[in-house]
Each structure stands twice: as structure tokens, then as C-alpha cells.
Structure 1
Amino acid sequence: MVRASTVGAHLPAPGFDIFGDLRKMNKRQLYYQVLNFAMIVSSALMIWKGLIVLTGSESPIVVVLSGSMEPAFHRGDLLFLTYFREDPIRAGEIVVFKVEGRDIPIVHRVIKVHEKDNGDIKFLTTGDNNEVDDRGLYKEGQNWLEKKDVVGRARGFLPYVGMVTIIMNDYPKFKYALLAVMGASVLLKRES
């Protein structure tokens, strides 16, 4: 005797058999999908490189990862940066800088600037929400930042748009699930 509840219980949900869909494609369709993906990736890279040239910053867009700049910027805010080296750095500006030995750049405000007659500039930073300056964050023996340490200057922001990046870094399984959903949607779009 066969129970009605077991009939069809092992069939995959329609449209979600990704590998089955890939096997059904002929070579031409598969090449087309691969070329579409390559075109999307290369377009994104060209846009990124274009932004680097236009802004003068090696990283024209960054995400605020901590609350050290509150209330000016909050965790998850997306910052737009420029960095034209001929413009002098002034106290009060918000800069993004890298410190030797740390992979992640820091977003903080310039609080003191020392400018020498020969044009060399040294400056000190702090987070708006911090009680002390950043000397504890700099590499050992470094008391001031120089122009070479700057990645860019904050010129604008979009609040909380970068939370997606933070969530993907904090929860790697979410990142892979998102990629799977995106891949499935591309295949479903192709079928319709």
C-alpha cells in the first residue's frame, strides 16, 4: 500500500535544480552564460578602476566598520573618498589611513597638523567617539601620520548601505547563500 503523502516527496522543487539545469544546457548556452558572467565581472572591475582614476584614491569607496566616528558616521555607512595629493590636509578633515602592520584602513578626524617650511606635513588623528588620540593605533614608535599613510578623504556618505558588507564578513554562510540565490535567479531568468 502506498501512502499519498510519500508520492512525489523526493522530487526537487521546480526551478531549484541548478546542476540539472546546467546539464541540460548545450555547449553554446553554457558558453553564453560564462561570457555573461565574465562581462559582468569585467564591467565591475572597469568601473572600480575608473573610480580610482577619477578620485585619486586607491580605495574610492569604504565601509565604516566601527562606532569610533559616531555621531558623524555610524557602523555600516558607505563613504566616498577622494585624494588629490596637492590639496593640503587640514585639522577637522576626516581621512582614511592605513597603518603599517594593519590590513584594514581606519576612518578618523585630523585633530592636529604640523607643517614644515619644506612642505612636509605630519598630522594626528582621533575618532569623534574616542577619548584619546590615535597614537596607540599607529605602528610602534610612530607618533604622527604622513601623507603617504592617507588612502583618501571623506567627501560624502550613504548611511547604513555598507551593512551588507559587514553582515557578509561577520556571517560567511550568509555570503554563500546570497551567491547561491543570485546564481539560481540567473538560471531562472534564463528559463523564462
Structure 2
Amino acid sequence: MQLRSRRPTSRLVPRAGTKREASRNGRPTGLGRIGDQINRGESLTRMNYSIPDRTAVFKFLLVAAFLVVVVPIAIAAFPQVVGAEEGYVVESSSMSPAIGAGDLVIVNDIAPAQIENGDIITFRRGTEGTIVTHRVVEIERTNGQYRFTTKGDANDAPDSQPVRGENVIGKVWFSVPLAGYIVAFGNTQFGLAALVVVPSVLLLVSELRDIYRSSDIQIRAK
């Protein structure tokens, strides 16, 4: 005995405002905006996404790293290229947070009469000749001679000995954070090879490889 289902069958009724799909040349139409463009014969432009060349990315990163390493070393060795007189590597944190250990300070020459309270100066301390960078907190002038009381920002008390005007090397123009570590490492033989020689060789090899590939393509084209 064959049974027929009494379950009512449902029919799909298109909603108001929508286009009912129709068959045209065996392909469905009415696919919204894109379908309308196809029906009108309008051309669609395909978007092309280009992937950066790995060699170009490698060369860019190599050049950027080379500049980050070489520029601080060059400034420390030849501060005149940026219009300064001297460059020094800070070895302690007595001036933190303004200047931290490992920072590179660039110093400009300045006359003692031009130094003001709050200036950060670099000077030779006493007879030992230790080079220090501290902030001026007090200025004394006696018979045309200047004496400066200095203090590290992180220190609780001022320095025990005032600084004579003739011991002042200059005023700190600006500092490069952590660049002193690069300079100190670059001053060693291993550091010079690792930071300067090796990147230079890699960059040269990459350029020669590009020249060889370009000439090889031209020969094949002929």
C-alpha cells in the first residue's frame, strides 16, 4: 500500500524588491550589481595584487640596518658632520631619565659666560681628567672667573667639587639613546667586522647578483 504524504509542500516566493533569477544562455542572472553589469555587457576590471620581491625587501632591510649601525659610529668619530665638536658614550645612569647609560651625547663648544642654570654640560673633573656629563644647578662668578655647581638628575646631592670654566668641554646638544653601545661595540675588531664589513659585503654581493641576472636576461632576449 502506497502512502502519500499529507505534509504540505512549501513554495519559495520571491521577496518584494528582489529580482527573480532567470536562465539566460544556461547561466543564472540577476546576481545583484555584478550580475546587472554582466547583463549590460559591461567589463569588470580584475584587481591584481603584486607581491614584493624578496630580494628588494632584503636589500631594503640590509641598507636600513647598515645606516642604523654606521650613522652613530660616524657621528661619534666625526661629530663635525652634524655641526658638533665632540661625541661621548655615557657609561653611567647618573643623568637618567634624561640621558641613560649607553646613550651617545653630542657636545657643542660653548663659552662659560653663555652657560645657564639647567644646561647639561660635559666637563673634565678635577685633576683626574674624568669626563662627566651633568646638569648645572648653580653658577658663581668671581673676578671674571666662572664656577659651576653640577648635579646628576638621578643623584640626591650636587657634585662635591665645582667645575671651573676652563674645564668645561661644551654643552650637550642632543643625545642618541643606546647608540653608545653600538659605538663601543664597533670600536672593537669583531664589532667592526660584524657591523660594517659583513653588511657591506652582503650589499655588494646582492648588487652584483642583480647585475648578473639583468645581463643574463638581455643575452637570452637576443
> What letter corresponds to residue 150 of structure 2 in structure 1?
T
1:71-114 deviation line (CA, Å, top 9, x unaligned): 11111222222123164222211110112444541110111111
Specify which of 183, 201, 205 is matched with residue 165 of structure 1. 183
Question: Quick check: 1:128 aligned with 2:117?
Answer: no
Taking a change above 3 Å as real, the CA distance of residues 111 and 86 of structure 1, as seen in their structure-2 partners, is closer
Unaligned segments of structure 1, at least 5 residues: 1-43, 136-142
Aligned-pair CA distance for 1:187? 5.6
Report Cα offsets for 1:140-180 as digits up to 9, x if no partner. xxx321111111111222222222134x29xx8xx332333
Report what 2:189 is aligned to.
176
1:153 has 2:171 as partner: yes
SS at match of 2:78: helix
Whether the 8 Å CA contact 2:113–2:146 is kept in 1: the answer is no
Residue of structure 1 in register with 2:118 after alignment: 92
The 1:112–1:49 alpha-carbon spacing in structure 2 relative to 1, beyond 3 Å, is: closer
| Counterparts of 1:165 and 1:101, CA distance in 2 | 27
Aligned to 1:17: none
Tell me which of the two structures has the higher relative contact order, counting C-alpha pairs closer than 8 angstroms and 6 or more residues apart. Answer: 1
TM-score of the two chains, using structure 2 as the length reference:
0.49
Report the CA distance shift for 1:130/1:183 in structure 2 as closer, same or farther (over 3 A).
Answer: same
The answer to whether the 8 A contact 2:150-2:159 is kept is: yes
Q: Structure 1 residues 184 and 146 mapped into 2: Cα distance closer, same or farther (>3 Å)?
A: same
Give the fraction of aligned pairs with identical amino acids, expressed as a percent.
Answer: 26
TM-score (norm 1): 0.55
The farther-off stretch of 95-104 and 149-158 is 95-104
Alpha-carbon distance, 1:51 to partner: 5.1
Tell me how many residue pairs correspond in the alignment.
131
Q: What are structure 2's unaligned runs of at least 5 residues?
A: 1-73, 209-222
What secondary structure does 1:162 align onto? helix
Stretches (4+) displaced over 6 A? none
Query: 1:58-137 maps to which residues of 2 (within 5 A)?
Result: 59=86, 61-85=87-111, 87-116=113-142, 118-135=143-160
**What is the alpha-carbon root mean square deviation over aligned residues?**
3.1
Query: Which is greater in Rg?
Result: 2
